[in-house]
């Protein structure tokens, strides 16, 4: 029982990192119907940059506060340079394009930081044990920060007029223009949000799960799987889906074999698409005809 | 020289060039060439998947890995003859593709891409975790290929072995693109709904192409194994998948030749970057060539979406224009109306299907057909029997539900409730190709032509159901006789519409009305038993309308049932045997043209008198719909 609780708890922490990445997928997909394969790279980049900043003598908090806007800037800049110039975006084009960007970013990280995985120092705090379940303070940081960020993003998109009209851009481009929001603004904001959630995922996760040039690949795939659970349109289900995925992975790793951890996401993806292609919560069509 | 022979020349040229290169080039270059050819085989398959099925695999290395590992296990551990093991290895790759494609290819959009990305990871994890695949160190000490008294252990020998494989693989793929399957899938990429309404089963064809692309990748894996003589988990890595994808994109999407050209270019880029980057940045190690892959992928998509093939055809057309300036104002043969009608009689003979349901029997029975969108009811409980051999018109104001009814009859939309029985088969809620296979096809109110091809190219797609050649027959060019028949029947349908002089024109260059006529020709070419026409007169000139009316009477006379949505009320009343009037989703009148025009309910619906005067706020949607429709309707009746 303690084992189970232990696995579930650390799975929740790991999964909230996936959830944050998934929020970025949903933010962009809702506006542009693009699956942005660079999503995982934002997290890897944030983790590695923060490690360097700390290595250069900056205090942890300062490093984090510098790195997050930096990654947001990179996300928006890459969008302006690569997505914006394309006039006719098809699913095929968007996948090839974002795959190209993600590959280039991976390689740049490899050139700068080398092939080894590194970790950021843990955030301040002491590890505790509750009822036999040992809880690392970093896991509490991950859960807490993820909860705050997810709440903020959901609140922005669902409860502010500006956020709501940004999302409406995808369905009602003309109406959105009438209230003064251009698709361009909506896209830039979506990429900024994606850069933000990705960067947060990268820095809070780095002390436990480490950062490497290639870690964005599987992180991105898992974020996508979580986003798929929400039909690529629901922020809430995407966040919760990420946490469920984290728990499931931990259970497989704990009870079957740790090597198969990375296979869980793929199996979940196939099963979801097979039985609930429009997501767990919704019955309406997310896949446009 | 016949065009068929002419098409084979580039393959002969490629084979000669490769043999010369393999025989004469220095060892180091041949070595690079071998890798270009090995990966080129996989790239040809991926090119088919992307060009024909419009889908992308981001984990194509997984299929190479399955082929490579299967070959290594069978030869290295089980001691099989490599020539016996190779087909098994290829089949193993195909099976994996089948398992992934079966659930995922039904979905549109991004899912196959992400799922294959996941597959790449899962295959990598699997071979690393299992002892029988040698875990991280893989399987090594595999033998070089040896058969037919030769040993393929030097670069030169291996290159010469690969040459015919690549040329034949390319030839087969190229034939497929020009075959019945290729034509149907290319139509799907232009307009999925139109292709399906002509009987194309998108899912089945895409699945076959996906499995075929995995076969190419599996074969690539077999040659990978025997050249490297070692297989380890790195073969499944993401880097290789990106590399294969880049080969296809750089070479040019939609052309299988591009895959081979791209393979050479990317292999050179790969070798070049591995040599240059460590010189520039001494600390660099690992898969640094990826930076070039990523940047080139992005640049190609932004600057040159058609890849090197696009560049090539631009250069060629520039050269051609300098040598043969285009002659403007070509002579167009004017066919008189008499001549056209003679032509039409001939074509109808060609298109006449032997068996039609006896006239007067119910060919299409619609019961309780309803479509609701949230709170809005677009079509409300429609009951309608259409008799074989009649022309029935469906009229009504805008928003009355006519097109919605068409969409549900042809399977384009699933109904909320109700049934549609076509020649005794329930088709409601099934895909459009099911209705097409029974014999119902349609045209579209908003044009759905296949824009990337010519007029005859559009019409040929409609012969899909009247021909059989599958993937293999198409690839082996065993479909020539059938293709000739397809050409004849398509030409006949074009002649019947009086479009003979336009047959080889790109459809996108034609005027709106002409494109509409092509859609009718296309629908006729299917030899339908029920022909559904959605506003076929819109955009047509007076004489064109007259010929279309005349043609529809002839079509009816040959036993075809016609269901017509049309705003030109005068034309409808002159043409139709019976008229059904819809208003606000409900059937309000049904009868002969004379009965319907004197029905007070119809008059009210069209002129909107009652609603305008007595309609309260609750009825306002009806009033709006009716008054919106008043002007075109009045114009038609005048």
Secondary structure of residue B370 in the 3-state scheme:
strand
Tell me how close the Cα of A206 comes to any Cα of chain B, in angstroms: 21
Confidence of residue A160 (pLDDT cuts 50, 70, 90): confident
Contact A95 B298 (CB under 8 A): no
In chain B, the domains with their CATH numbers are 3-235 (no CATH), 340-637 (3.40.50.300)
Question: Which residue out of A92, A97, A252, A285 would a mutagenesis test of the B interface target, given it has the greatest number of B Cβ atoms within 10 Å?
Answer: A92
pLDDT of B544-578, one tens digit each?
888 888 888 888 888 889 999 988 888 888 889 99
Least trusted range by pLDDT, from B162-166, B330-334, B593-597: B330-334
- pLDDT value of residue B357: 80
Least trusted range by pLDDT, from A259-268, B89-98, B247-256: A259-268
Tokens of B17: 């060039």
- pLDDT value of residue A23: 92
Q: CB count, 10 Å around CB of B76?
A: 22
Query: Is it the case that residue B266 has pLDDT exceeding 80?
Result: yes
Query: Is it the case that residue B473 has pLDDT exceeding 80?
Result: yes
- pLDDT value of residue B341: 67
Residues of A with CB below 8 A from B282's CB?
A: none
Query: Is it the case that residue A285 has pLDDT exceeding 90?
Result: no
Secondary structure of residue B504 in the 3-state scheme:
coil
- pLDDT value of residue B513: 83
Tokens of B561: 């049932």
Q: Residue B565: in which H helix or E strand, if any? A: strand B561-565
The stretch B68-74 carries a mean pLDDT of 92
Going by CATH, does the domain composed of A2-275 fall within 1.20.1060? no
pLDDT of B198-221, one tens digit each?
888 888 888 999 999 999 999 999
- pLDDT value of residue B613: 42
Tell me how close the Cα of A11 comes to any Cα of chain B, in angstroms: 20
Report which DSSP code applies to B76.
I
Average pLDDT value for chain A: 85
Secondary structure of residue A130 in the 3-state scheme:
strand
pLDDT of B521-543, one tens digit each?
898 888 888 999 998 888 888 88
Confidence of residue B361 (pLDDT cuts 50, 70, 90): confident
Total residue count of chain A as it appears in this document: 289
Q: Does A4 touch chain B (CB under 8 A)?
A: no
Q: Does A116 touch chain B (CB under 8 A)?
A: no
Least trusted range by pLDDT, from A51-65, A208-222, B568-582, B613-627: B613-627
Query: Is it the case that residue B90 has pLDDT exceeding 70?
Result: yes
What proportion of chain B, given as a percentage, has pLDDT over 70?
A: 89
Report which of residues B421 and B325 the model is more confident about. B421
* pTM score of the predicted model: 0.85
pLDDT of A194-209, one tens digit each?
999 999 999 998 888 8
Tokens of B615: 């309609």
Query: Is it the case that residue B44 has pLDDT exceeding 60?
Result: yes
Contact A110 B238 (CB under 8 A): no
Report which of residues B620 and B587 the model is more confident about. B587
Secondary structure of residue B282 in the 3-state scheme:
coil
Beta-ladder partners of B417: B370
Tell me how close the Cα of B22 comes to any Cα of chain A, in angstroms: 32
Average pLDDT value for chain B: 83
Least trusted range by pLDDT, from A195-199, A213-217, A241-245, B87-91: A213-217
Give CA–CA dist B518/B496, Å, rounded.
10
Contact A103 B121 (CB under 8 A): no
Which residues have CB under 8 Å from B304's CB, separation 6+? B310, B311
Confidence of residue B358 (pLDDT cuts 50, 70, 90): confident
Q: Does B115 touch chain A (CB under 8 A)?
A: yes
Query: Is it the case that residue B635 has pLDDT exceeding 60?
Result: no
Nearest-Cα residue of chain B relative to residue A269: B115
Give CA–CA dist B191/B522, Å, rounded.
14
Least trusted range by pLDDT, from B114-118, B122-126, B136-140, B486-490: B136-140
The stretch B265-290 carries a mean pLDDT of 82
- pLDDT value of residue B131: 77
**Are A78 and A38 within 8 A, CB to CB?**
yes
**Are B236 and B61 within 8 A, CB to CB?**
yes
pLDDT of A31-85, one tens digit each?
888 889 999 999 999 999 999 988 888 898 898 899 999 999 999 999 999 888 8
Beta-ladder partners of B150: B147
Report which of residues B225 and A182 the model is more confident about. B225
Least trusted range by pLDDT, from B56-70, B175-189, B323-337: B323-337
Domain assignments of chain A as residue spans, ordered by start: 2-275
- pLDDT value of residue B67: 94
- pLDDT value of residue B339: 66
Contact B297 A217 (CB under 8 A): no
């Amino acid at each position: 029982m303690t084992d189970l609780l232990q696995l579930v708890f650390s799975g929740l922490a790991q999964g909230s990192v996936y959830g944050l990445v998934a929020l970025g997928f949903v933010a962009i997909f809702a506006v542009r119907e693009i699956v942005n394969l660079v999503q995982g790279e934002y997290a890897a980049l944030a983790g590695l940059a923060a490690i360097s900043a700390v290595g250069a003598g900056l205090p942890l908090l300062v490093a984090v506060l510098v790195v997050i806007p930096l990654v947001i800037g990179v996300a928006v800049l890459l969008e302006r340079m690569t997505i914006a110039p394309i006039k006719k975006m098809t699913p095929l084009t968007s996948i090839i394009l974002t795959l190209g960007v993600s590959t280039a970013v991976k390689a740049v990280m490899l050139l700068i930081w080398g092939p080894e995985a590194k970790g950021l120092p843990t955030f301040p705090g002491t590890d505790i044990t509750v009822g036999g379940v040992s809880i690392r303070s970093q896991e509490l940081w991950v859960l807490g920060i993820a909860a705050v960020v997810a709440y903020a993003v959901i609140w922005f998109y669902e409860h502010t007029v500006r956020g709501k009209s940004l999302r409406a851009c995808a369905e009602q481009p003309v109406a959105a223009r009438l209230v003064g929001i251009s698709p361009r603004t909506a896209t830039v904001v979506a990429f900024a949000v994606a850069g933000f959630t990705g960067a947060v995922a990268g820095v809070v996760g780095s002390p436990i799960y480490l950062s490497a040039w290639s870690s964005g690949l599987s992180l991105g795939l898992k974020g996508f799987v979580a986003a798929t659970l929400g039909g690529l349109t629901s922020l809430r289900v995407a966040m919760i889906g990420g946490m469920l995925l984290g728990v499931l992975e931990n259970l497989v790793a704990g009870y079957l074999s740790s090597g198969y951890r990375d296979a869980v996401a793929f199996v979940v993806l196939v099963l979801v698409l097979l039985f609930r292609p429009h997501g767990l919560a919704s019955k309406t069509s997310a896949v446009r005809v | 020289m016949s065009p068929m022979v002419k098409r084979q020349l580039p393959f002969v040229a490629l084979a000669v060039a490769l043999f010369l290169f393999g025989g004469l080039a220095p060892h180091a270059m041949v070595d690079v060439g071998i890798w270009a050819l090995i990966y080129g085989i996989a790239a040809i398959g991926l090119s088919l998947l992307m060009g024909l099925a419009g889908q992308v695999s981001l984990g194509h290395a997984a299929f190479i890995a399955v082929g490579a590992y299967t070959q290594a296990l069978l030869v290295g551990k089980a001691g099989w003859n490599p020539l016996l093991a190779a087909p098994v290895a290829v089949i193993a790759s195909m099976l994996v593709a089948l398992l992934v494609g079966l659930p995922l290819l039904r979905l549109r959009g991004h899912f196959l891409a992400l799922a294959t990305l996941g597959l790449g990871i899962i295959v990598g994890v699997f071979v690393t975790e299992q002892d029988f695949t040698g875990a991280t160190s893989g399987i090594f000490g595999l033998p070089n290929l040896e058969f037919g008294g030769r040993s393929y252990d030097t670069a030169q020998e291996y290159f010469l072995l690969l040459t015919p494989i690549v040329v034949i693989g390319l030839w087969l793929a190229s034939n497929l693109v020009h075959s019945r399957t290729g034509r149907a899938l290319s139509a799907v990429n232009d307009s999925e709904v139109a292709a399906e309404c002509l009987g194309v089963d998108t899912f089945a064809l895409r699945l076959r192409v996906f499995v075929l692309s995995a076969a190419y990748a599996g074969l690539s894996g077999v040659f990978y194994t025997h050249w490297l003589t070692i297989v380890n988990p790195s073969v499944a890595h993401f880097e290789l998948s990106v590399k294969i994808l880049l080969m296809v994109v750089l070479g040019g999407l939609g052309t299988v030749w591009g895959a081979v050209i791209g393979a050479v270019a990317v292999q050179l880029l790969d070798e070049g970057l591995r040599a240059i980057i460590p010189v520039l940045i001494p600390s660099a190690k690992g898969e640094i060539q990826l930076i070039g892959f990523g940047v080139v992928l992005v640049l190609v998509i932004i600057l040159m979406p058609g890849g090197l093939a696009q560049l090539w055809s631009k250069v060629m057309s520039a050269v051609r224009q300098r040598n043969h300036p285009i002659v403007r104002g070509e002579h167009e043969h004017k066919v008189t109306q008499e001549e056209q009608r003679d032509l039409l009689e001939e074509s109808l003979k060609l298109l006449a299907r032997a068996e039609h349901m006896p006239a007067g029997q119910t060919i299409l029975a619609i019961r309780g057909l309803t479509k609701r969108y949230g709170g809005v009811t677009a079509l409300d409980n429609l009951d309608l029997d259409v008799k074989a051999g009649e022309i029935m018109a469906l009229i009504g104001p805008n928003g009355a539900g006519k097109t919605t009814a068409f969409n549900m009859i042809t399977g384009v939309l699933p109904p909320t409730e109700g049934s549609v029985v076509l020649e005794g088969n329930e088709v409601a809620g099934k895909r459009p190709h099911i209705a097409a296979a029974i014999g119902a096809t349609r045209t579209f109110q908003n044009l759905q032509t296949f824009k990337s091809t010519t007029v005859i190219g559009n019409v040929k797609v409609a012969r899909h159901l009247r021909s059989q050649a599958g993937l293999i027959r198409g690839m082996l060019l065993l479909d020539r006789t059938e293709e000739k028949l397809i050409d004849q029947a398509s030409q006949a349908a074009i002649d019947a519409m009086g479009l003979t002089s336009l047959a080889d024109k790109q459809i996108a260059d034609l005027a709106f009305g002409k494109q509409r006529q092509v859609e009718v020709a296309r629908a006729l070419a299917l030899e339908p038993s029920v022909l559904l026409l959605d506003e076929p007169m819109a955009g047509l000139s007076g004489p064109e309308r007259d010929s279309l009316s005349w043609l529809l009477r002839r079509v009816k006379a040959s036993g075809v049932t016609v269901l017509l949505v049309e705003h030109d009320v005068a034309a409808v009343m002159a043409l139709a045997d019976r008229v059904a009037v819809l208003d606000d989703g409900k059937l309000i009148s049904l009868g002969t043209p004379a009965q319907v025009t004197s029905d007070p309910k119809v008059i009210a619906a069209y002129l909107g008198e009652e609603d305008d005067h007595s309609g309260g706020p609750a009825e306002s949607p009806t009033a709006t719909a009716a008054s919106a429709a008043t002007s075109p309707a009045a114009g038609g009746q005048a």
